[in-house]
Amino acid sequence: MEYTIAEKIIKKHLVFGKMKAGEEVALKIDQTLTQDATGTMAYLEFETMGIPRVKTELSVAYIDHNTLQSGFENADDHRFIQSMAKKYGLRFSRPGNGICHQVHLERFGIPGKTLIGSDSHTQTCGGLGMLAMGAGGLDVAVAMAGGAYHITMPKMYKVNLTGVLNPFVTAKDISLEILRILSVKGGVGAIIEWGGPGIKNLSVPERATITNMGAELGATASIFPSDEITLEFMKAQGREKDFVPLESDVDARYDRVIDIELSELKPKIACPHSPDNIVDVESIEGTKVDQVCIGSCTNSSLYDMLKVAAIIKGKTVNPDVSLSISPGSKQVLSMMAECGALTDILASGARVLECACGPCIGMGFSPNSQGVSLRTFNRNFEGRSGTKDGRVYLVSPETAVAAAITGVITDPRKLGEPPEVKIPEKFKVDDSSVLLPASEDEASEVEILRGPNIKAFPKGEPLKETFKAKISLKVSDNITTDHIMPAGAKILPYRSNIPYLSKYCFEVCDKDFAERAKAEGRSIIIGGENYGQGSSREHAALVPLYLGVRVVLAKSFARIHEANLINAGIMPLTFKNMEDYDELSQGDELFIDNIFEGMESGEITVKNLENSKKIKAACNFSGRQRDILKAGGLLSYVATEAE
């Protein structure tokens, strides 16, 4: 039998199930990561499991999202997470040390290992041959407690790269090209393996720019082989002992193969408000730009920063543009400082922000009203920047800096000679901002520091045989978790306060939703295709649960969100006939009976009490998922299993 890279890793980590696409498999998890915006909840959940110390090979708690401390909330949450890490055996990456995915790639990722993280861009570490996946916080908590991670065995896609990129065309343009080809739902249910002769010219950070945006495709994971380029990167990080080579077998079978000839690519741009709304930069040249942001877990490596510095050296930022630079890690920033690149950037008039997510999640640096913002980030969902009518475009660092200089969208190929950038053979290694946990003997003495912002989180209820409720909201295709549970500097500090967060649920779509749903008591949401794409935030399930949502009936779901709904005890049902979506309206009362029998057979009948029409819904849950729903969510299920 010949295997793909991902299949090889899955085979090695399989604790349950058959490696057949569509079937549920359970995997042993070697490493976990959390960030602070999802971490607080994940640690509260972990605490309820009563495990004295994490059971993974390595677990790291990062602080990188909620770094603006405009009140006590974020600082309290940082202290809570730090004390949890110390007590329960995790490393703690202090605020300022960098964005979780960038730091994990530099310092901790290991080819061939499994990693799950409570952040959808965890797949970044696929750039060095890891099977790295985003997950809900509760799934990460279970993995920290030694439990397996359950996924639907994905299909295998292969992207073959041939040729060489032209000057000013970059790894980011490859990410945008695959989004153009596949769209934001094209990767759902698949692992995307990158290969072909074209990968030989891509360094690990460039590969990571590509795997990072696998999240935007909805893919379960994205992965590169581990080869001599990987070895070179690991040597530069002083970690060559962790290197293992990894490639697919020659006759490995793929469900889909996509070829991209790199020399044919031009600089690309994702237009508002979706990462797959792609055109060539040259086609919209001249559009006035108000703001440019360079950074995020997609494009904040030393290589990216050095290119930007080389291009902007000796020039000044256009007077009508505000330029921000957020290096991905302390390592990147300190190396920029040492080689003078930081001085060149500062001299241009750019604003240097801390090594954190920052503007990407609306944590400061929101654009002006109706402002056009060019960002090297991965998401441009409506309102995500913190400015409701802001217009965000996604681009490469080269395209970003070209606009920062000219003040308008500019094809970077017009910048003249491409920058010559040399990456040092050795990176500056200083792990002093990663704190080690207390020893097992001392752990019991460590006090958990809780602030007043931490409130109890809602628990699901055991499923009943029948269910009757009204439709509290009907939404269209590609609804993101940013629609369901917005982020941004004003709301993010309340990630451990579900009652407070609930006021903002679906605010972007319908500002009356929260009150209406609460007044209904129990309700159903109707969704279109790819419902819940984007972030892994389980708050997009916990908050609707708090507001009484018990069923979401959609055309299809994004992977992590569907898992989060089940974990929360909300039943995700899919339309069998897509036209039935048009038959339902907000306010209709629906009735579902024979739920248990339906779950066994995979089909449930939903009756619309307004007109007595019957709708067939699919519910292809695994035995474990049925039990979780029956128990009222994963936490109750874990508790009953333990009895």
Give contact residues for ligand MIC (rule: CB under 6 A): 37-38, 65, 119-121, 134, 361, 379, 487, 534-537
Work out how close the CB of 537 gets to ligand MIC at its nearest, in angstroms, rounded to a whole number: 3
Cβ proximity to ligand SF4: between 161 and 297 the closer is: 297
Considering beta carbons, is residue 410 or 497 the nearer one to ligand MIC?
Answer: 497
User: How crowded is residue 11: how many other Cβ atoms within 10 Å of its Cβ?
Assistant: 11
Q: Which is closer to ligand SF4, CB of 83 or CB of 122?
A: 122
- The whole-angstrom distance between residue 102's C-alpha and the CA centroid of its chain comes to 13
Is residue 338 exposed (0-12), middle (13-18) or buried (19+ Cβ within 10 Å)? exposed
Half-sphere exposure of residue 43: CA atoms within 13 angstroms, side-chain side: 34
Neighbours of 614 (CB within 10 A): 10
Among 56, 296, 478, 496, interactor with ligand SF4 by CB under 6 A = 296
d(CA 116, CA 220): 11
Instruction: Round to whole Å and give the CA distance between 119 and 534.
Output: 10
Is the separation of the CB atoms in 454 and 497 below 8 Å?
Answer: yes
CA distance 539 to 37: 10
Tell whether residue 304 is a contact of ligand SF4 (CB under 6 A).
no
Cβ proximity to ligand SF4, 377 vs 637, nearer residue: 377
Least separation in angstroms between residue 359's CB and ligand SF4 is 9
Omega before 539 within 30 of 0, i.e. cis: no
CA distance 215 to 536: 10
**Nearest approach, Cβ of 377 to ligand SF4 (angstroms)?**
6
For tokens 């399930």, what's the residue? Answer: 541
Q: Which is nearer to ligand SF4, 216 or 411 (CB)?
A: 216
Q: Which does 502 bind (CB under 5 to 8 A by kind): ligand MIC, ligand SF4, none?
A: none
| Sign of the Cα pseudo-torsion (236, 242, 244, 246, in order) | negative
Is residue 99 at the binding interface for ligand SF4, with CB under 6 A as the rule?
yes
Structure tokens at 419: 């920058």
Q: Does 360 bind ligand SF4 (CB under 6 A)?
A: yes
Distance CA 254, CA 154 (A): 11
CA distance 108 to 117: 13
CB of 10 to ligand MIC, least distance (A): 22
In degrees rounded to 5, what are phi and psi of residue 162? -125, 160
- Minimum CB separation from ligand MIC for residue 529, in Å? 20
Instruction: Determine if 374 is a binding residue for ligand SF4 (CB under 6 A).
Output: no
Q: Residues 32-71 vs ligand SF4: string with x where CB under 6 A?
A: ---------------------------------x------
Q: Which of 85, 78, 59 is nearest to 435 (CA)?
A: 85
Instruction: Give the phi and the psi of residue 364 in degrees, each rounded to 5.
Output: 95, 170
Query: CB-wise, 155 or 537, nearer to ligand MIC?
Result: 537
Binding-site size for ligand SF4 (CB under 6 A) equals: 11
Count of H-run helices and E-run strands, the chain? 23, 27
Judged by CB under 6 A, which of 78, 87, 107, 121 binds ligand SF4?
121
CA–CA gap between residue 342 and residue 469 (Å, rounded): 58
Which of ligand SF4, ligand MIC, none sits in contact with 536, Cβ below 5 to 8 A by type? ligand MIC
Asked whether position 378 contacts ligand SF4 by CB under 6 A, the answer is yes
Q: Candidates 354-362, 565-573, 579-587, 623-631: pick the segment binding ligand SF4 (CB under 6 A).
A: 354-362
CB of 63 vs ligand MIC, minimal distance in Å: 12
Closer by beta carbon to ligand SF4, 102 or else 472: 102
Least spacing, CB of residue 136 vs ligand MIC, in Å: 9
Nearer residue to ligand SF4 within complex by CB, 99 or 628? 99
Q: Which residues of this chain interact with ligand SF4, rule CB under 6 A?
A: 65, 99, 119, 121, 296-297, 357, 360-361, 377-378
